[in-house]
Amino acid sequence: MKWEDLIEPVKELAVETGEFLRRECRSFERGRVEKKRAHDYVSYVDKTSEKRIVTRLHELLPEAGFIAEEGSGSHGDEDLWWLVDPLDGTTNFIHDNAPYCISIALRNREEILLGVVYECCRDELYWACKGGKAYLNGKEIRVSTVDRPDDAFIELGFPYNSDAYRSLAVPLVDRLYGSVGGLRLMGAAAAELCYIAAGRFEGRIEAFLGPWDIAAGSLILQQAGGRVTDFSGGAHWDDGRQVLASNGFLHDYLLEKIKETNF
C-alpha cells in the first residue's frame, strides 16, 4: 500500500476514536485519573484510545513502527513509523473543557508524510499529505496573511515542567502582552497548530513537547502555507523540544521575542 492511500482509513479511524472520546467525556469520573508527573495526567481513556488506534494502524501498515504517547507499540529499525497522540489535551478532557483531539502522523527517516488531527469538541477533521494541500472537513485551508504584531492572535503553551520553562514563559508574556492583538492558552498543541493552518491564529510558542504532539499538526500547518522552526529558526523542531509555529508572516518577529528572553 502506498502511504498516500492510507489517508482515508486514518481519517475514518480518527473520527471513530473521537466519537469514543466524546462518549467517555459525558460520563468521565475524575477519580479515575492517574498522575504521570506534576500536573501531567493520564486516564483509562488515553490508554484505551491509544490501543484502538495502534491496533488498527498496525493492520493497515504492519511494517511500520510506533512512537505513541502512552507507550503502545514500538519503534526500532523500521523505515516508517506512526506518531500517535490518542488524546491531546488530557487536562482539558478531564475538566470537560475544549479543545481536545486525536493526532496521527506517519513519517519516514527524512520527513513527515501524512497527518490527521480530529478536534473532537468542534467535530473538525484536519488532514494533509506531504506535497499536497491542507484540508478541514474537506475544504482547503490556508494560513492568514496577518503581518502586523498588533493584529496578531498568538497561542502560547505552558508545558508541565514549569521550572525549566519559566525563564521563557514569564518574559515572553511580558514582551507579547499588549504588543500583539491577543494571547491565548488553550492546552492542546495538535489542535492549535491546525487553528493556525485554518487562519484563526497567527502563531504558537511552546517547548518540552513530545514528537507525537506536533507531528501531524505541523505538517498540516506547513501544507497550509505556514512555517515551523525551533527557537533559533532552524529545523530541529520535530522532537518537540522547541516549537515555534506561525503563518510565516510573523515568524521572524516571534523569533526575535524569544531571543530577547535569553532562554
Tens of pLDDT along the chain (263 residues) come to 577 789 999 999 999 999 999 998 888 766 666 555 554 445 678 888 999 999 999 999 999 999 988 777 777 789 999 999 999 998 899 889 999 999 999 999 999 999 999 999 999 999 999 999 999 999 999 999 999 999 999 999 998 888 999 999 999 999 999 999 999 999 999 999 999 999 999 999 999 999 999 999 999 999 999 999 999 999 999 999 999 999 999 999 999 999 999 99
Residue 94's closest CA among 145, 41, 55?
41
What is the DSSP secondary-structure string of 10-71?
HHHHHHHHHHHHHHHHHH--GGG-EEEETTEEE-HHHHHHHHHHHHHHHHH-TT-EEEETT-
| Size of the chain in residues | 263
**Sheet-wide strand order for 65-68:** 65-68, 81-88, 101-107, 112-119, 124-129, 134-136, 139-140
**Total-model pTM:** 0.94
Buried b (16+ CB within 10 A) or exposed e, 60-98: ebeebbbbbbbebbeeeeeeebbbbbbbbbbebbbeeeb
Identify whether the C-beta of residue 214 lies closer than 8 Å to the C-beta of residue 238. yes
Cα–Cα dist 122/9, whole Å: 21
φ/ψ (deg, to 5) at 187: 90, 20
Question: And the C-alpha cell for 152?
Answer: 496578531
Question: Is residue 215 classed as helix, strand or coil in its secondary structure?
Answer: helix
